[in-house]
Amino acid sequence: MAIGSATPPSEWVSSNTTSQEIDEIVQFLVDQGTFNFPTLSTGLFSAAAAENPEFRLTGYQNVWVRDNIHIAHALWLIGEKQIAVNAIQSFVSFYSKYRHKFVDIISGKTDPANVQSRPHIRFDGESLTENDEHWAHAQNDAIGYFLWLMCKLLRSGDLSVSEEIVDLLSLVVQYLHKIEYWQDEESGHWEETKKIEASSIGPVVAGLVELKAWLSESGTELDSSVQDQIVKCLAQGESALDEILPAECIQPDPSQHRLYDSALLFLCYPLQIVDRETTTQITENVRQHLMEPIGIKRYIGDSYWCANYRALLSPETRTTDYSEDLSGRDALLEEGQEAQWCLFDPILSIIFAQRYLESGREADRELQLFHLKRSLAQLTDRHSHFGPYRCPESYFLEDGNWIPNDICPLLWTQANLRLALHWMKLSCQKS
């Protein structure tokens, strides 16, 4: 196996690749800076690590809860446990600092329909303060992811319990119960049109499952009314998922109704809260309806980074809050010219890795390898102005050519690729 500029990254792996060779690939990419995860002084991560002059206009220097949880989980899984703990502790500090956001909604003092009154899911990660901006903070998936990883770290013993954490756990449950998250219209992973979506309900269910397990294992007791709310919230969330899946949203309004969305893959991994049959349906839907030659669409009709995006929109408006009205941006999209994202092939590779490790079926291993090859092919080449071996957010069409968008490297993509290589090593050890 030859690794380097003379060999396309997609050819670095094959059905004969050994676990040692996977280690060599990882080390090569580490040496190239591909898996550089710069942390802020608080231990949190900006969404991207770009340095171009217009970068701050994208807002990607901010901390997103969702991205950080995916990154922290990936690093935790490969052994960088303290990094994950530091991130969670900073989130605990941030949400404890603004605990009134939970309290005021729970008490009825503020209306969750005013998204600015909700706990913020994008903020200044250096100062742990809210940004003075209007943003689509109604994103229940982010709160669910936070709850999920915090409880996983509590269960593993890597995160020490404190009064502050127990207080926050109680507030999160009461908040989710108050807003009736299982039927709450919110903006979800993509921060767009509000709807009741499975990809947002799922992370909350996963978080509640982990919370319930930790409470049982640790003997920790919350107020009896909160305990009752955990049971109700879990039952309502699971019922909602049963009704909606494998679709993303079944509301009849055409602006909300969505059969296929790649965010559903995260219910399969890393959350692992759907059964084998539903996982199969979700993965096949993504592969059949959203997979393109380079990457994978978020959903059909996605206008974010559509063709000639930079020419059509100013830097200030490319990543602005579109949660209230997508019509202007959607009018720019021509059919079949959605951006092709790099987040999802690594996740598909992991899902098929898990299947292979359970079943030993070569067909699953071939699909794992197929999506890992695609993931590696998405790395920037030596001609890119971002430099070689960088993980883009997506590829978009500009003047007839598919090129990385301005959000490069995206740390969430890096984390997913690193995990896909981790799971390929596990598969190689089984073979």
Q: 51-55, 297-301, 421-425 — which is least confidently predicted?
A: 51-55
Question: How much is the pLDDT for 51?
Answer: 57
Average pLDDT over residues 264-270: 98
The structure's pTM equals: 0.96
Question: How much is the pLDDT for 69?
Answer: 98
Question: How much is the pLDDT for 58?
Answer: 58
The better pLDDT of the pair 52, 413 is held by 413
Q: 299-303, 319-323, 351-355, 365-369 — which is least confidently predicted?
A: 319-323
Average pLDDT over residues 166-172: 98
- Look at residues 160, 154, 207, 156 and name the one whose alpha carbon lies nearest to residue 181: 207
Q: Tell me: the pLDDT tens digits for 125-155? A: 999 999 999 999 999 999 999 999 999 999 9
Question: How much is the pLDDT for 372?
Answer: 98
Average pLDDT over residues 267-284: 98
Q: Tell me: the pLDDT tens digits for 6-34? A: 789 999 999 999 999 999 999 999 999 99
Question: How much is the pLDDT for 47?
Answer: 74
